[in-house]
A and B are shown apart, each in its own frame.
Chain A
């Protein structure tokens, strides 16, 4: 039979029986040899493999190789594994807010900011603004191309036109905020040299008076290094150093170090004493032991008085100053003197006389060289008010042919009108910004800048402490970083800022201290200051008498307007970030706008109330703002946050009212307060979008437990409230009786310890959680309807003057609802407590919320039918319901409504659909990842390896997460010490047995001054429960 089997040929050559093909038919590769020499031998396999590996590794190590194009996954990038995150070190900079960060990228897109634990400045802490910055990367209202006028232009033509224009210009001005980047400054310097230009630096919240005063007081025009960690007595005067001033994340860390306590046998039982004198209530004031409110006009006199008190005690010469009545001032002076050498006095007020007095006091107390270190000055706040005002005059005088704005003075400078006029006189005006902002609208060109996560860069927040920035994603739009534009226009380094940066680091920063690659990997290079240690104990050489004379001339009277930067929006540069807009102010709890904060007394005097709109007018300018009655606000003052009222920020950012125009220049420096303000009520019935509307804790000691240091030293359980339940065997602790069998926790028991003593309310955890867990933004209207979605909130309670034991009368209870005029404040982070006897779990009809074998209370979104019974039955009210569909919905036009914005979503966490409940999962996705990593390596997870979003970047380390079954974990160790000390469960008596523990708040305050009522000091405890009635609680 004929062979019908088909035949296949490797190619036409085989069919034709080509001689070469036949010869090599049994060889796999029809090549003579690979290297051109000897044919590759079987035995060379490992050699070749090894070489290949090394070559690939070397190639990949060279981070210098710029990725210029998006690589399709057809050729998978070496270090991008789908599903596995990569971390790159970078640096977030926003005015004073500088944080070394790690950027988590997934499949090539940044999704989360983490703190960089290597940083000596922040120690792994971040700020709320740093956390939110990743969202600004995906802001679809940014410029997509550079623009000329209102039309898009390509970079080539833009560069050509600008270069031509610059060549013709005589004087070029570059206007910016403080630039903390040494390389950026070098580039600007080269640019200005080439074009005979000038670099003018100003800051929205100016610190120029501090440097001026330091120049005369200590001969160094710098912002010195502050060491709150070395201080035993800290005095802040209108200085929000934990929130916004100079280096808040670092200061929070330092401050917390002095506040941490341990109930261990030989544990630390001492803490700093913190006095705060301020106009509006800030988180720093809330965290202080003693806080007094003071009008801005009184601040100078207060300092003069303080100086006199300190001087008289230390043998100095008092200066004539009229007396001011401010609570705790005497005590403060006494404590300062007692803590000589370990005291620090700081003020943020931009007034040379005031800063001179601060210096004088610090000089007397010997703080300089101890708590104030002139050898490691800060590089933030370098703006000069006088230079800026000279620039404005010059600009209007037609001195500058070309002006380049790297900041947004039309919005954030009080002389915006003059600058606007001046811009028209310049022949060339360029704005380097990421959007057509208020300044850019007046400029001829806007050279669209990239986001810092797309940029190369560096920062030197403190002398000798460097931090690097590297791109974590290719430019999303056709943008270019500002420095590259300047280099291009000045024909330096071919416009290649990356190379320029590397060169600058190698030549003038690293100095052989560390390799560039290592620095880039670490994100930081901290050589410290070369002069550290030396030149430390500078003597005060300022003139106190003239400072006091200047202070005596400050006029007071009438209502005073005080402006400040708040912790979320700051100067307003990140205003178009919906996460930040929706983050409640930690004190007022207002979102999405700024308010006119007044004290209750002033509100009564002015016949205004919360919900009214008032017109505030002073010297011709006027603004309208909603009233916010703020306990602790100085009487006869109105505090208004800066950073709001932008007109060109975008959909989310154009909210609130701009108060920058209310700032005036006094004695050459910008003055952030004004006297003689007229107030007029224009409307009423307005609802502020507050996430918390109740002020006090209503005497509920099972919620917040606190005491004072002297009591704590006597008894580590001071302030603890330990309810007992009556049984036939006598009163017992609630946990000893239960209807439930409990859950087996065989392997892990995840838990947390939250230290109320070190939590400042900075809100970093809130934004970090929002970013990690894809928590929806709901907008102002929905927040006003009490429907915000945050998984962690910062409960803020004011103390009340009422008798908290009077729970029997209606009058007593309504009295208790009112906060003290000058309250003590407790901030309590509150999220799902992961109860072991969870009330939510028993009531869900469909088992959508269940208990894990590791102590977690789990939420299965897929199974949820949305009865909300669990939310109702949650004693902590931490469950959140999706009232609407918050993504792809034009009613919620935030980042989840556009494709670019959705890129920020964490792929590990489900975006919840409409109609389901959600809540804190204790970052179960991170726990799972950590467990899997450990499992791959056949070991147990090590403590610290798994961190929740909130605990990872807490600047003060107030939140500690870990496995309570691991005896070596920090959580276990802390609880071992504190279980019979400061640790308590919120609402212990209902026996839900949370996995979250809180540590009591301890204030370093004298018993007579403590506003919190000590109903349950330990002696009282014994008696208080003797005759307690049985409590029926399942």
Chain B
């Protein structure tokens, strides 16, 4: 059979020159905020303010403001935590794994994806603090030298593993993001005047753009990519241990690590998709984030969505095959019990909805992509809700079976995390380059495709 490799589409459209790129990306950093940005940022602030009220109430009054009970000890709190951590996965995947695989299309989106990762992890961390009965003692979960006796942490506890996993992930992500931004910050510095010049100057760490700097920059990027690649797998694996190492039917499952990682990438890509579709319109970056990008992202969403679908079905098979009465009941209850609707939401949003991406036309349709990405994130939220709540609410002793009904505190604190996330994201889009200019320039066109007029080399 004859195979004709398709000609690779151009990654950046619109016949941009290097200077165009610089201008396009720096524009929103240098200009006065646009009306659209002001509106979006204003809404985020309002949401943050409302959420903060509930956050304050939760901390002041106690966790009674949530809907939890003696049987269901975790619900929205840990659902939100896992959900945000999952979303945070796309950043490292795009910046590290795709870098190692030399997937050049990643350059348009990696900056924003990394930023999203960091903000999502911050949101997740806020739920770690929030879900504690006595959050002011959260530092006890760190293995700090102390005068309490001296009391150490419990290294058997998956929650301690979480602390390590998430803090490592957060620091590496921050580092990766910042190092990657240094050349671009230098570009902005070079174009700026006054106070802004000093600030961006300080942030760009004396970047000169010399060949030696570039070489080191490339090396550091590779090393960091190498370091963070295992993190992509480890963070959600460890988060899944919170459940997998327990004795609760529906939690005690060896399939969780791969299943959680796939799910995390799934939801992370969906979130990146949403944010990118939004950013490319607001900042008129259609030439950098092209339909090609959107299509590729959708392919990953389709693949990971199908992986989690297989995982869901495998869980059922194992439950039936195990011969364990409790395990079997946990899954029957998941699909047909009082919380069946959440299971139905999960299945339809996560497994069925991405299947539309088998069709190229739909895969490259912006509206469809946006809607499906939103649906996927809703579905992934429900996945965590299903795992946590439907497993807990009916476990071993039927005497303790209970139902979970959220209260305003649950909703308010979730809203807080949205406010927090979008406020940070909009600040990022305003004050930092949302696309990696330096790397974009490297993937634009090969010299053979150069136009007649010589390139204007301005940084």
Contact = CB atoms under 8 A, between A and B. Distances in A.
Chains A and B belong together in one complex = yes
Interface of A: 692-694, 696-700, 703, 782, 785-788, 793, 795-797, 807-808, 810, 813-814, 828, 830, 839, 842-847, 863-869, 871-873, 875-877, 879-885, 913-917, 986-987, 990, 992, 1028-1034
B195 to A, nearest CB: 43
A871 B70 contact: yes
A771 B184 CA distance: 68
Interface string B76-103: 0000000000000000000000000000
30 contacts: A693-B402, A700-B398, A703-B397, A786-B70, A795-B397, A795-B400, A839-B246, A845-B140, A845-B157, A846-B140, A846-B151, A847-B153, A847-B154, A865-B132, A866-B132, A866-B134, A868-B73, A875-B248, A875-B396, A877-B71, A877-B396, A877-B400, A879-B70, A881-B133, A883-B68, A884-B64, A915-B62, A916-B134, A987-B397, A1032-B322
Given A813-B332, A883-B68, A866 B63 contact: yes
Given A866-B134, A876-B396, A786 B71 contact: yes
Given A785-B69, A797-B398, A807-B328, A866 B133 contact: yes
Nearest to A1032: B322
Interface stretch (B29-37, B158-166, B202-210, B297-305): B158-166
A1029 B152 CA distance: 41
Nearest to A695: B398
B73 A885 contact: no
Contact of B133 (A795, A916, A1031): A916
B39 to A, nearest CB: 39
A830 B246 contact: no
Contacts of A844: 154, 157, 159
B246 A843 contact: yes
Contacts of A1028: 323
B452 to A, nearest CB: 66
A863 B139 CA distance: 12
Nearest to A796: B399
A787 B133 contact: no
Contact of A883 (B62, B74, B322): B62
Contacts of A917: 133
B335 to A, nearest CB: 8
B159 A869 contact: yes
A692 B140 CA distance: 35
Contacts of A877: 70-71, 395-397, 400
Nearest to A814: B336
B261 to A, nearest CB: 22
Contacts of A867: 131-133, 159
Interface in B180-239: none
Contacts of B402: 693, 786
A868 B248 CA distance: 14
A1031 B325 CA distance: 10
A830 B400 CA distance: 10
A986 B396 CA distance: 10
Interface in B95-140: 131-135, 137-138, 140
Given A845-B140, A865-B133, 20 more contacts: A703-B397, A786-B69, A788-B70, A797-B398, A810-B336, A814-B336, A842-B154, A844-B157, A846-B153, A864-B134, A865-B138, A867-B132, A871-B70, A875-B397, A884-B62, A913-B134, A915-B133, A915-B134, A992-B247, A1031-B323
A787 B70 contact: yes
B325 A807 contact: yes
Nearest to B71: A877
A872 B134 contact: no
Residue of A830, A843, A845, A1028 with highest tally of chain B CB at under 10 A: A845
B164 to A, nearest CB: 11
B247 A990 contact: yes
B247 A865 contact: no
B247 A873 contact: yes
Interface in B20-62: 61-62
B147 interface: no
B398 A696 contact: yes
Interface string B328-364: 1100110010000000000000000000000000000
Given A845-B153, A876-B396, A883 B246 contact: no
Contacts of B329: 698, 807, 813
Residue of B74, B131, B132, B157 with highest tally of chain A CB at under 10 A: B157
B324 interface: yes
A807 B140 CA distance: 44
Which 6 A-B pairs have CB atoms at the shortest separation, nearest pair first?
A866-B133, A915-B133, A1029-B323, A786-B69, A795-B399, A883-B64
A446 B294 CA distance: 83
Interface string B243-257: 001111000101000
B392 interface: yes
B70 A915 contact: no
A371 to B, nearest CB: 35
A700 B329 CA distance: 11
B141 A846 contact: yes
Contacts of A1032: 254, 322
A185 to B, nearest CB: 46
Contacts of A875: 247-248, 395-397
Contacts of B400: 692, 795, 876-877
Interface in B259-275: none
B458 interface: no
Contacts of B140: 845-846, 863, 865
A872 to B, nearest CB: 4
Contacts of B246: 839, 843, 872-873
B401 interface: yes
Contacts of B163: 845
B447 interface: no
A881 B396 contact: no
Nearest to A813: B332
Contact of B398 (A698, A787, A788, A1033): A698
A371 B452 CA distance: 118
B324 A872 contact: no
Contacts of A847: 151-154
A915 B399 contact: no
Contacts of B403: 693, 786
Given A786-B402, A866-B134, A843 B71 contact: no
Nearest to B253: A1032
Residue of A872, A877, A884 with highest tally of chain B CB at under 10 A: A872
A121 B399 CA distance: 34
A863 B146 CA distance: 13
A864 B398 CA distance: 28
A863 B247 contact: no
Nearest to B138: A865
B5 interface: no
A866 B135 CA distance: 8
Contacts of B412: none
B156 interface: yes
A845 B141 contact: yes
A414 to B, nearest CB: 37
Contacts of A873: 246-248
B160 to A, nearest CB: 5
Nearest to B246: A873
A808 to B, nearest CB: 8
B157 A872 contact: no
Contacts of A785: 67, 69
B363 to A, nearest CB: 37
B169 to A, nearest CB: 18
A846 B70 contact: no
B141 A810 contact: no
B396 A880 contact: no
A1034 B252 CA distance: 9
B268 to A, nearest CB: 25
B397 to A, nearest CB: 6
B63 A883 contact: yes
Contacts of B131: 867-868
A896 to B, nearest CB: 15
